[in-house]
Amino acid sequence: MHLISEANRILPNGGLFYITTPNVLFDQNLVGYFFGRHPFSWSVYTDGYGDRHNREYTTFELIKLMETGGFTVDQLETLTISRSADFAHRVAGKLLSLFPAVVGRVPLRMRGEFSHVQARRSGPVRERYPTFLYDLFGRKAVEHEGF
């Protein structure tokens, strides 16, 4: 949220902000979880400075993050860059993603490896410490709103 707040501070109204981050809803993360592995793509510590802020976001959390940061989302997509998983794992990921897609929770197009968001500054930061990020026992988690 600090990054989003700083982007809001330096961009003029209408200014564009782009962010790409690992997608925790990546279909291969489901395969890992199903077979007892850690579901996050970037779950290892590398002894680097940035390791203290590791968190993978859902596409729905990114929308909420941008909105609370004073941005309007123009475009949201997920992309898969690497094809390191074998064919069987890729098929398993698609199959495990089917039920949430059919019941209207997470569309198949939101199961890529990385989330990419283009947002436009539309006003000041609305909530500097949104509860879905900062309140461990807070309100109901971020809901999907049809993306």
The per-residue pLDDT for 20 is 93
Q: May I ask the CATH architecture of the domain 2-134?
A: 3-Layer(aba) Sandwich (3.40)
The per-residue pLDDT for 147 is 46
Could you give the count of Cα atoms lying within 13 Å of 6 in the half-sphere of its Cβ? 3
Encode the chain (147 residues) as per-residue pLDDT tens digits: 999 999 999 999 999 999 999 899 999 888 888 888 877 766 666 666 555 556 789 999 999 999 999 999 999 999 998 767 788 888 999 999 999 999 999 999 999 999 999 999 999 999 998 888 887 665 555 555 544
Instruction: Look up residue 96 and give its two tokens.
Output: 């495990």
The per-residue pLDDT for 145 is 52
Burial of 127 (0-12, 13-18, 19+ CB in 10 A): middle
Q: Are 127 and 139 in contact (CB under 8 A)?
A: no
Q: What is the DSSP string of 72-138?
A: EEEEEEEE-----S-HHHHHHHHHHHHHHHHTTSS-GGG-SSEEEEEEEE-SS-S-SS-HHHH-TT-
